[in-house]
């Protein structure tokens, strides 16, 4: 039973659709108000890939649940990990914060990373994903 998770950009609540076949799931996705014209399963999968995670097309409810759990766990990056990643990239706290999506002036970004590195705050899910992407981009181990 295929499942689609749709995390709309403008809303917090996801649409979770499960159908008995790919064709029925495609039809259900096509009926969403923000969905583009989706003629094929591939087009639907490509559209879902552009939405915030855990949006996606999954082969089963179990696969969708496993991915959601994986994302939740992967977002929990320790302050030590963040500090080591920043040092590996040889970046200041302010530049590092900006590179993973934090905004504000240099002092604000520096303070945010100081608090993350010292366990006062956690990275946002978006920043965690951006950090993993940044590490991959620079060929560093992200484990």
What the chain holds in terms of domains, given with CATH numbers, is: 3-74 (no CATH), 79-137 (1.10.260)
More confident residue, 106 or 64: 106
Q: Which two tokens stand for residue 26?
A: 């495609």
- Reading the block at residue 43, the tokens are 């087009």
Q: How far apart are CA 29 and CA 100, in angstroms?
A: 31
Q: Give yes or no for a contact between 100 and 117, defined as CB atoms under 8 angstroms apart.
A: no
Once rounded to an integer, what is the mean pLDDT over residues 90-114? 95
User: Tokens 């040889």, residue?
Assistant: 90
Q: Decide if pLDDT at 117 tops 50.
A: yes
Ramachandran quadrant class, 40 (left: phi over 0; alpha: psi -120 to 50; beta: rest): beta
pLDDT band at 113 (very low <50, low <70, confident <90, very high): very high
From CA 16, how far away is CA 110, in angstroms rounded?
38
What pLDDT shows up at residue 66? 83
Residue-wise pLDDT for 22-72, tens only, equals 999 999 999 988 889 999 999 999 999 888 777 889 999 888 888 877 776
Least confident of 7-21, 46-60, 117-131: 7-21
Strands (E), the chain: 3-6, 15-18, 56-58
Statement: residue 141 has pLDDT above 50: no
Q: Give the residue-averaged pLDDT of 124-139.
A: 79
């Amino acid at each position: 039973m295929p499942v689609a998770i749709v995390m709309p950009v403008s809303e917090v609540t996801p649409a979770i659709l499960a159908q008995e076949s790919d064709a029925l799931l495609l039809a259900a996705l096509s009926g969403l108000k923000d969905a583009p014209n989706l003629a094929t399963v591939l087009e639907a999968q490509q559209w879902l890939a552009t939405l915030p995670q855990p949006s996606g097309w999954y082969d089963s409810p179990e696969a969708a649940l496993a991915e959601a759990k994986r994302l939740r766990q992967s977002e929990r990056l320790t302050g030590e990990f963040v500090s080591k990643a920043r040092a590996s990239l040889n970046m200041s706290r302010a530049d590092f914060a900006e590179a993973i999506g934090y905004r504000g002036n240099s002092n604000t970004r520096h303070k945010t990373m100081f608090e993350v590195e010292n366990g006062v705050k956690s990275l946002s899910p978006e920043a965690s994903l951006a950090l993993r992407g940044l590490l991959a981009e620079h060929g560093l181990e992200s484990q």
